[in-house]
Amino acid sequence: MIIGTPKEIKNHEYRVGLTPESARELVVHGHRVLVQTGAGEGIGAHDRFYVEAGAEIVQSAEEIFATCDMVVKVKEPQAVERAMLRPGQILYTYLHLAPDPDQTLDLMKSGAICIAYETVTSPHGGLPLLKPMSQVAGRMSIQAGATALEKAHGGRGVLLGGVPGVAPGKVCVIGGGVVGFNAAQMAAGLGADVTILDRDPEVLERVGTFFEARAKTRFSNRANLAECVAEADLVIGAVLIPGAEAPKLVSREMLKTMRPGSVLVDVAIDQGGCFETSHATTHADPTYVVDGIVHYAVANMPGAVARTSTYALNNVTLPHALRIADLGWKEALKRDTHLAQGLNVWNGKVTFEAVAEAVGTDYVPVDQALA
């Protein structure tokens, strides 16, 4: 199979779909790997590293899309990239289609086979290809929130860890999954006053046992959520419904109960965001203010720590890429029902039910694509 990785073109996106080490693994398996020149510069992987790994350097994304059987990326294809996809070509990347009907429609029109990292499942439960970026985003959310709380950035001027004689900042983490757990770890490590909300008693028990006195847990109902948000200096939105649009848990009305200069960080923005007032921002212009509350909603947070993120991502995406390349996409998905959950668009049809429901199109079961 011919496998290619273009340079990412989303704003301030420095990650790359394949590291030189991953390229070498694919070459050893007998495949041809093409890499757009400069694709790895953001992680310090210069073209010569890919050449030494056995890959070929090409000058443009057009060459990648025109030549390759499978295109491996990090972020969802931008409009110019979607226009280059062709029928039967495999696209293997993050897609986040539920809040993005334009992208979904373009992928359907392309006839490409689109496998989304974020909906691949695991025999042990969870979303293993999403997990490393959720870990990164969760940890970064506290860094970003702490910076946004600084007075020079429009915040209240609160130090999350406080100092002797001055109370620490209050952090409300909505969701106790991978993002929320990692956010709470960072916040507690700084010495903040941390509260984690979740609706799953088992999650609350697990995080409560881990953090002991370093963080509080509360069941997430309307009353507890409203109280926690009103008291917080920093609110982290860390909710996820796999493949579906995120629920809007914090309303604009609730902002009026918060102190001016408090901060909302919406890690769920890739799936539409969990705050009513959220809209996607970029690393170039990461925050905006609504009703006196600072919002941070960068849709590709892990791109800021591109080297860490790329290697963490390749650790989990490469094994599936090898299976797809070795067996062909259809046989690979037939043999692995968890990988099959990653198929979102096939032959102009949506094959992930939550996406079909969100964008208002017909749903075709994956089994039909694999028949």
- The one-letter amino acid at 121: T
Please give the average pLDDT of every successive group of 10 residues along the chain, which has 371 residues: 97 96 98 98 98 98 98 98 98 96 98 98 93 97 98 98 98 97 98 98 97 97 98 97 92 98 97 96 96 97 96 98 98 98 98 96 96 91
Token pair for residue 92? Answer: 């293997």
Q: What is the pLDDT, as a whole number, of residue 125?
A: 84
Q: How far is CA 6 from CA 72, 87, 195, 208, in A?
A: 8, 18, 41, 43
Residue appearing with tokens 């890429």: 321
Alpha-carbon distance 22 to 24, whole Å? 5
Q: What is the pLDDT, as a whole number, of residue 242?
A: 86
The residues that are catalytic are 96, 270
Q: What is the pLDDT, as a whole number, of residue 45?
A: 98
| β-bridge partners, 235 | 172, 264
pTM of the model: 0.92
